[in-house]
Amino acid sequence: MDKPLHIALLGAGTVGSAVAEILLNQADTLTRKAGVPLRLKMVAVRDMAKPRPFLAGHPVRLTDRPQEALEDPDIDIVVELMGGYQPAFDIIRGALEQGKSVVTANKEVLAKEGFALRQLAASRGLDLFYEASAGGGIPIIRPLRECLVGNRIDQVMGIINGTTNYMLTRMSQHGEEYEKALADAQEKGYAEADPTSDVEGHDAAYKLAILASLAFEAPVPVDAIYREGITKVTADDIRYGRELGYTLKLLAIAKNVNGEIEARVHPTFIPHRHPLASVSDAFNAIFIHGEPVGELMFYGRGAGGGPTASAVIADLVAVARRRITGSAGEPPVPSEFPVIKEMGKTVSRFYVSLKVIDRPGVLAAIADCFGKQNVSIESMIQKGREQDPVDLVFVTHEVVEANMQAALEAIRQLNVVHEIANVIRVEGDA
């Protein structure tokens, strides 16, 4: 048996302490799987005073200086679970520069610096594994890296933010409005006091940058991702959509259309029968289409200590095994930035909800605005007859985004239209 590999664990929150517990309590299994003992040598924490019962009786050094992991030449593998951009990025880069392998769950660093870090790791024959950075416990990064070579992947669509999926499920199943669903999610611990990162789609955009970069083998910058949150979604939208055959999800979508990449995060209606439509509560799922594999979906818990620790431990064992067999390092990482399609040139179907005066000729005026921009209507329903205004809801066929925006601008000018209540994209085969 080889001499043990020494591990530094940076961060001991929910995930970090779950990782430490598995490392310490399932040492035999992990040793057998890795082919070498994995010794947890140090744990970096923010608060040295806080009790860490899971470390009791184990010879593990506790520190509040994560940099110690870089200074200690014994450390073979750095497990970075601190989160946030800095100092995590400097520490990951520093670890690789010192010949250490890295396992991380850091979506922000991977989304912003993933390609540079992967190139650094590849150039030094080191591993940088990050299964937990997107999809939590769901094996998706490694399947994308290893199990789909020989495929041309043209689509990734994911429910990759559990908080918003929980909220949309509440709104859908209980008819709750946004504010109530948010309060529920906060009460359950799914949403933070400041929910911006989740509800505005930042979290999903980071994860999409990671997934799209792997799927298309090209660095998709997080800044290039169009992003729209769920704050304007109403219970009415969800109800009207359902009548028309659609379920509302916050989707992270990336497509490779003839070599041009589009990447966007926004509320999306998908047909009830689409595999993503039945993914409810805080679950995540990533749907992939490639040739020749066809459709794939990976489903599971996208957050939480246990599921995330599961992904971190698997990475750690793989990295350890590759380190001792001398097979670390991935093939050269493509670095050419892809052509990103402008949002105005993307093609979608649309759900459009208008508040209009209920009077003859109104539909004709609206239809004229759509028609002039080549927007063709797939279905229409009117709600609240005898009220003023009434809701008029359209679902369009596929149309270029810029044309749709022009049609909406014209509709907004009509006297008979009180308000464009909502515009939501529609994906998936009808």
Instruction: Cite the active site residues.
Output: 207
Local structure of residue 136 (DSSP, 8 states): T
Region binding a copy of itself by CB under 8 A among candidate stretches 63-71, 138-146, 377-385, 403-411: 138-146
Answer for which of 149, 193, 360, 364 binds a copy of itself (CB under 8 A) is 149
Answer for which of 148, 357, 363, 380 binds a copy of itself (CB under 8 A) is 148
Local structure of residue 143 (DSSP, 8 states): I
Nearest-approach distance from CB 185 to a copy of itself, in angstroms: 19
Q: What are phi and psi of 126, to 5 degrees?
A: -115, 165
Please say which residue, 30 or 205, places its beta carbon nearer to a copy of itself: 30
| Strand blocks (E) in 81-141 | 101-104, 128-129
DSSP result, 240-288: HHHHTTEEEEEEEEEEEETTEEEEEEEEEEEETTSGGGG--TTEEEEEE
SS3 427: coil
Please say which residue, 32 or 65, places its beta carbon nearer to a copy of itself: 32
Answer for which of 86, 123, 196, 325 binds a copy of itself (CB under 8 A) is 325
Q: Is 38 in the site for a copy of itself (CB under 8 A)?
A: no
Q: Is 57 in the site for a copy of itself (CB under 8 A)?
A: no
What span, in angstroms and rounded, lies between the C-alpha atoms of 226 and 220?
A: 12
Q: Is 278 in the site for a copy of itself (CB under 8 A)?
A: yes
Q: Is 317 in the site for a copy of itself (CB under 8 A)?
A: yes
Our CA angle for 68, 72, 77, nearest 5°, is: 90
Answer for which of 14, 280, 382, 405 binds a copy of itself (CB under 8 A) is 280
Residue 415's identity, in one-letter code, is: N
CB neighbours of 306 closer than 8 A, spacing ≥ 6? 18, 137
Q: Are 285 and 299 in contact (CB under 8 A)?
A: yes
Please say which residue, 197 or 310, places its beta carbon nearer to a copy of itself: 310
Interface mask (CB under 8 A) for a copy of itself, residues 114-133, using x and -? -----------------x--
Report the sign of the C-alpha dihedral through residues 230, 234, 238, 244, in that order: negative
| Strand blocks (E) in 46-99 | 61-63, 75-80
Please say which residue, 224 or 317, places its beta carbon nearer to a copy of itself: 317
Give contact residues for a copy of itself (rule: CB under 8 A). Answer: 18, 22, 26, 29-30, 32-35, 131, 137-139, 142-143, 146-151, 273, 275, 277-280, 283, 285, 290-301, 304-307, 309-311, 313-314, 317-318, 321-322, 325-327, 331-332
